[in-house]
Structure 1
Amino acid sequence: MNCKQTIYPFTALVGQERMQEALILNVINPALGGVLIRGEKGTAKSTAVRALADLFSSLEVVDLPISATEDQVVGSLNMEQAIKTGEKTFEPGLLAKAHKQMLYIDEINLLDDHLVDVLLDAAAMGVNTVEREGISHSHPAEFVLVGTMNPEEGDLRPQLLDRFALSVEVRGEQNPQARVEVVKRRLAFERDPESFARQYQDAQQSLRENILYAKSIVRDVTAADDLLETAAKISIKLEVDGHRADLMMIKTALTLAAFAGRTSAVKSDLSRAAALVLPHRLRRTPFEDYKQDWSDVEQLIYEECAV
């Protein structure tokens, strides 16, 4: 008897293309460093994360509760073993469990800033190093970091926002037909999950194959010097701090090219990458207010990428 719960198909989601793209890019290239999904409740944030993981039998979602302690996250000394045998051994935490998996944190803005910093360090380095009671222990920690949050409940510090490679803002559909389709699909899924999922089998398989192929070639994708120069010009004109934005734009453009089945990134990849990399890095206006100026940013990106 198959007791596996049927998960809502990733390809059945309606109207959240940018969120889906950001998640897919991080699965193709976990070295990107994660994605922050900001938006109101009921916009399929959690559904999208679990649906994407369900595409691959080897990928699971490891939940990190906001009540978690540092020892639970990074690991700790096994005191019981130390008392019994005198040997100091390491007890793995959630970061070890999340290796090669997807680490999901709902309401990440309510997680202790120190823990967020630790998570982002591990995601960027691919290694978790713990020093406790004279023990220094390192282990691989390559995972897809996904944080979701409702901005109305508080924000992350700008320094932490910048550490996320990508960010997307999601909101409920404003098109009546799209909203109707969301409800129709959800009701159909709840009525008969297996039958509903079967309708998307071909689309799911096609997406799975595209992602796996992109993963196989992403390290071979190249970017010409003029693309790097364009990324630099965009960052300079937008007055973003440091060089992380430039690097993330290029790495994201390379991953987008891989997802398209190409081994060289082009300016259209960079334009799409900028829309995922820059919004949470604009320092002249708060993230909550960037929407009113984003059309100007898009025009700048278009002009630079069209040169």
Structure 2
Amino acid sequence: MDKIKNTARPMFPFTAIIGQEEMKLALILNVIDPKIGGVMIMGDRGTGKSTTIRAIADLLPEIEIVSDDLFNSHISDYDLMSDLTKQRIDKGISLSTELIKVPMIDLPLGATEDRLCGTIDIEKALSEGIKSFEPGLLAKANRGILYVDEVNLLDDHLVDILLDASASGWNIVEREGISIRHPARFVLVGSGNPEEGELRPQLLDRFGLHAEIRTVKDPYLRVKIVEQRSNFDRDPYTCIQNFQEQQDQLKHDIIVAQNQLSSVKIDYDLRVKISEICGALNIDGLRGDIVTNRAAKAFASYNGKDEVTINDVKQVIKLCLRHRLRKDPLDTIDSGSKVKQVVDDILGD
């Protein structure tokens, strides 16, 4: 209990969240394999979107970073290192490291491009010949989670920058002929209420997964959720302690799944079936095929398997494809019935 009380402000435990299984699964899969490409969570107000997203960040194991590094650089993985850290390692300079919690960065709706990407001090660069860079939110989010609440209200230009950085893993800032780049590997999580407007289909397609959440209708379940929240608000530390065992088990399962992911195989015939489904749904491009393959592997790894089965594909394919069906910006996102029908036809009931 004392150990729990010494942490930062108490966070509602991820394993204590009742319902919303689709959203929780989408977040877990992205944590296991960040290359899935993030998740867009759309649903009614007051359904626990923000609570769940912050809870998954709090659940994750600490990461090792190079001390005094502005970009949370990894000590040995070149893809997760800033250029300065690479230079120091190449010169044989010994670097100290420290453990930090996985960064959880919020992008406010009123943020500017400079706040997101960072800024170069042109005056210092011209007068002293020094590349002076003030990191933005993309730098702080490296190796963590970048959360955008009400992403459907964010300027399309900023959404484009976010998605480009998320896909490439790098952020490049160019001003007056001076260019600086740094790693920006993060899980992009967007949430919003469809009543306040949808993202353009071109932008929506670039989110790996799309989770829909609805207000719980069952009165008994609603009472249980309210009681759970009331107990946490009254005595958060006892609530956290009650779920500590489940939290530790889930954390262990995620670490094991991350480590085993590279060894998970997906049969050629099953990959053909996935592409057949994408073709039958008339999905543009190949993102749907790629994301479904990745998500199915992550799901299989999460369940302790080394080969993807038809059932693994069925569990994740709706998350991967439902938001890619839209051709007209005025269309609403299909709840998944069209995807399910085609999947059942091709993979069997």
Q: So what's the TM-score if we normalise by structure 1?
A: 0.94
CA RMSD of aligned residues (A): 1.7
Give the count of matched residue pairs: 305
CA deviation string 1:225-268 (max 9, x = no partner): 11111111111111111111111111110111111111211111
Which residue type is aligned with residue 113 of structure 1? D
Shift of the alpha carbon at 1:297? Answer: 2.7
Shift of the alpha carbon at 1:289? Answer: 5.4
- 2:45 maps to 1:41: yes
- 2:145 maps to 1:102: yes
Structure 2 contact 122–175 (Cα < 8 Å) conserved = no
Moved over 6 A (4+): none
Deviates more, 1:1-10 or 1:267-276: 1-10
Shift of the alpha carbon at 1:84? Answer: 5.9
Shift of the alpha carbon at 1:83? Answer: 6.5
- Aligned partner of 1:305 in structure 2 is 347
Structure 2 contact 122–176 (Cα < 8 Å) conserved = no
CA deviation string 1:15-51 (max 9, x = no partner): 1101000001111111111000001110100000111
Higher helix share: 1
Question: Structure 1 CA distance, aligned partners of 2:346 and 2:324?
Answer: 18
Gaps of 5+ in 1: none
Shift of the alpha carbon at 1:80? Answer: 5.4
Shift of the alpha carbon at 1:110? Answer: 1.2
- Aligned partner of 1:190 in structure 2 is 233
Which residue type is aligned with residue 288 of structure 1? T
- Aligned partner of 2:184 in structure 1 is 141
CA deviation string 1:170-203 (max 9, x = no partner): 1110111111111010111111101111111111
- Aligned partner of 2:334 in structure 1 is 290
Change beyond 3 A, Cα 1:68–1:284: closer
- Aligned partner of 2:195 in structure 1 is 152
Question: Structure 1 CA distance, aligned partners of 2:326 and 2:107?
Answer: 29
Among the aligned pairs, what percent are the same residue? 46
Question: Structure 2 CA distance, aligned partners of 1:102 and 1:83?
Answer: 35
Deviates more, 1:86-95 or 1:220-229: 86-95
Give the match's secondary structure for 2:342: helix
Q: Which residue, 10, 15, 25 being the options, matches 2:14?
A: 10
Q: Which residue, 14, 25, 36 being the options, matches 1:21?
A: 25
Q: So what's the TM-score if we normalise by structure 2?
A: 0.83
- Aligned partner of 1:178 in structure 2 is 221
Gaps of 5+ in 2: 63-100
Structure 1 contact 59–100 (Cα < 8 Å) conserved = yes
Change beyond 3 A, Cα 1:182–1:287: farther
Question: Structure 2 CA distance, aligned partners of 1:156 and 1:295?
Answer: 21
Give the match's secondary structure for 2:59: coil
Which residue type is aligned with residue 27 of structure 2? L
- Aligned partner of 2:59 in structure 1 is 55
